[in-house]
A and B are shown apart, each in its own frame.
Chain A
Amino acid sequence: MNSIIKALDKGIAQSGIDRKIISIPSDIPFQPAAVKTLGIDYFQTPRGRAIAFGSGLKLGNPGLKIMAVVGDLMTLGGNHFVHGARRNMELLVLCINNFAYKKIAGMPVRSAGTAFSAYSTFEEPFNFPHLGNSCGAVYTARWTALHIDELAGSIAEALNKRGLSMIEVLAPGPNYYKSIESIDPDILQFYFDNSIVKNNEDPRNVAITSEEKIVVGKFTDKDSKNTRGQIHAARSATDAFRRERWLR
């Protein structure tokens, strides 16, 4: 958690955005008091509703920059993410994945089991960057708590994107990891040994599995699909259609 706070601090500084206008609506798992030191506004929302809450903040005051920090996102708030990406809501979704609830990327080591599936699990986890990319996110990346500088760089880039961007962060849950034998207690060493940086990799190939190394990097970086011009074109087309229909 500390490394994420550090990365947030660095990323916000790099992005050149005034801290005053940044708001972090967050899911339940991310509520360290240390977030107060960032000089931003922080809102803990009901479980899984950070992205919907953030959409309200953004539409209520379009001048704000919203960074929704979510945990077990794809179960409780999956629909909000899918639709946020579809409607190109200008949000940065920072998904902190500690494998604990195993729905986002899942505990990859089948034989070990997790705190919430004592006898291991046979469910397939989500490939989160791929999901984001296919729903229309303009920016997708994955880093671990080891890659603080890269993560900070991604946060800075993503904060300046127009559209929904998402960054998945693999971060340890130290107390909980002690109970899993196959994970090295020195989790950063685990990330070091088991991750490989592949920027611009096709998001379809970055699923976290037990056989392969964890692929990290920046996977998607494209321009917002709804430019002002396109919205204007769509609107005039609708108007023309209506005129034609009513005049007939």
Chain B
Amino acid sequence: MSQRERKVNANPKDVLTGVYYIDGDVAAGYGALAAGCKFVAGYPITPSTEAFEAVCHRGPQVGAVFIQMEDELGSISAIMGAAWAGTKTMTITSGPGYSLMQETIGYGAMLEIPFVLLNIQRGGPSTGVPTKTGQADMMQSRWGAHGDYELIAIAPDSPQEMFDYTLKAFNLAEKYRCPVMIMSDECVGHMTEKVVIPEADKIEIEARRMYTGPASDYLPFKPDPDLVPKMAKAGQGLNLYITGLVHDERGFPVKDAEYRSAYVRRLVDKIRLNKDKIIELREEGIEEAEVIVVSYGISSRVAVKGVEIARQKGIRVGTLRLVTVWPFPDERIAELAKRAKAFVVPEINYGQVVFDVARCAHGKANVVLVPHGGAGVHNPADVADAIEFAARQETPIQGVYEFKTRLEKSVFEGGFKLKE
């Protein structure tokens, strides 16, 4: 089946067309159901609980199954099973649950199971701050499971985008047969805004790439020219043999280094070689900019105000928003590093995506991190100050420069005392 034929319109029953005033979690739940998701397994965890509630309430009305499993390990394993039963699947989690799921995310990548994982990030590490925000799972989403694999991670910044990009996540998962992470955060998850859900015939859905030929010819891991194999489902009479060991096209385990290289290479390449089609960036005022603010998720919305303040001071600032954080836009950042003086990266952690920016800038532009420990968002004035600092800095800075925010100063220099 060609690429064009696999595109179908959403089922009108699944889509709650209308204008709503809902939070990001609920919007993501509605987005999943609109995409045709028919199986959700999860274990409730703050701050993603509203997404469960949405799916739990609305799911059975459109024929979707929702099950509260015994734990996150069970949830992610159940969605792997349901994917092989032929349904579109999703699980929803946050912080500690996400850590528990990592082993099976690797299994999903290995067996090329299309699934979506909605991670509403919270403050960490460990139990952290369950009710407040964080962006400190970004590197875990990239390197969480053992072994080499590539996946797609999306960081929406508004309830509307939670709907739109949950839909898109399902389409990407089906198209590339890989795990897709929606790396949202508590602020976006709990932010209540206007969400417009379009009519079903305006929503394009990627149907699963199913094998339709004779059973005797089926090779479960024989890739199409775009490196993605066709999928089958249990009960089709195809006599599947599926294993998480490195396997050949038939699915049988193989140990040779040659096979391993060929197989794992393909897992990686099917994303890397299609990077240009997957990556989505939002650029603004970037052509003339001396300083470029690189941000994602909620930090990109806070940065807007910071950029505004800096522009009033006459600094030429551009913004680059990473809508898809992984795969990372290496070439674009490298290209901008040749023109711009510095990158300013506000993120709610002590440096994760900023190191990839520095890697791609390759010493050609300074890289300034505006850190935040979590449980809150940046003060826009800090972002503005960091931009000003970066614009005034004439000498190259080695590595990543960590900007001292007002919060950090008050804690470490301003006589901040713990409550007695």
Contact = CB atoms under 8 A, between A and B. Distances in A.
A binds B: yes
Contacts of B104: 46, 49
Interface string B163-205: 0000000000000000000000000000000000000000000
B71 interface: yes
Nearest to B215: A20
A141 B243 CA distance: 28
Interface in B57-88: 65, 67, 69-71, 73-75, 77-87
A52 B69 contact: yes
Given A43-B240, A80-B70, A61 B77 contact: no
A129 B19 CA distance: 55
A59 B239 contact: no
B102 to A, nearest CB: 10
Contacts of B268: none
Nearest to B110: A46
Contacts of A21: 235
Contact of A59 (B65, B75, B235): B65
A44 interface: yes
B238 A41 contact: yes
B143 interface: no
A57 B81 contact: yes
Given A44-B244, A64-B234, A56 B71 contact: no
Interface string B223-263: 00000000001111111111111000000110000000000
A54 interface: yes
Contacts of B245: 31, 44
B234 A61 contact: yes
Nearest to A87: B67
Indicate the member of A21, A39, A44 with the most B CB atoms within 10 Å.
A44
Indicate the member of B81, B85, B235, B243 with the most A CB atoms within 10 Å.
B81
Contacts of A79: 70-71, 74
B211 interface: no
Contacts of B89: 56, 60
Nearest to B104: A46
Indicate the member of B39, B65, B78, B252 with the most A CB atoms within 10 Å.
B78
A56 B73 contact: no
A42 interface: yes
B61 to A, nearest CB: 15
Interface in B316-371: none
Contact of B73 (A25, A35, A43, A49): A49
Interface residues of B, number: 41
A64 B407 CA distance: 57
B235 A63 contact: yes
Indicate the member of B85, B240, B242 with the most A CB atoms within 10 Å.
B85
A52 B67 CA distance: 11
A195 interface: no
A61 B242 contact: no
A42 B103 CA distance: 20
A224 interface: no
Interface residues of A, number: 34
A56 B235 contact: no
A79 B238 CA distance: 31
B26 interface: no
B152 interface: no
Contact of B74 (A40, A47, A49): A49
B241 A59 contact: no
A55 interface: yes
B107 interface: yes
B107 to A, nearest CB: 5
A97 interface: no
A245 interface: no
A143 interface: no
Contacts of B237: 20
B243 A44 contact: yes
Contacts of A36: 239, 241
B271 interface: no
Contact of A64 (B75, B83, B85, B241): B85
A55 B71 CA distance: 13
Contacts of A44: 242-245
B70 A41 contact: no
A20 B235 contact: yes
B116 interface: no
A23 interface: yes
B41 interface: yes
A45 interface: yes
Contacts of A47: 103
A33 interface: yes
B86 A61 contact: yes
Nearest to A38: B239
Contacts of B75: 52
A59 B73 contact: no
Nearest to A42: B241
A177 interface: no
Contacts of A61: 85-87, 233-235
A125 to B, nearest CB: 23
B78 A56 contact: yes
A58 to B, nearest CB: 8
Contacts of A59: 39, 65, 67, 78, 82, 85
Contact of A60 (B83, B236, B242, B243): B83
Nearest to A60: B85
22 contacts: A21-B235, A25-B81, A39-B239, A42-B242, A44-B244, A46-B107, A52-B74, A53-B77, A53-B80, A54-B81, A55-B78, A56-B80, A56-B85, A57-B234, A59-B78, A60-B87, A61-B233, A61-B235, A64-B235, A79-B74, A80-B74, A80-B77
Given A20-B236, A42-B241, 14 more contacts: A23-B84, A25-B81, A41-B235, A41-B239, A44-B243, A45-B81, A52-B74, A52-B81, A53-B80, A54-B81, A56-B41, A63-B235, A79-B70, A83-B69
Closest 8 CB pairs of A and B: A56-B81, A60-B85, A60-B82, A56-B78, A52-B77, A49-B77, A61-B85, A56-B82
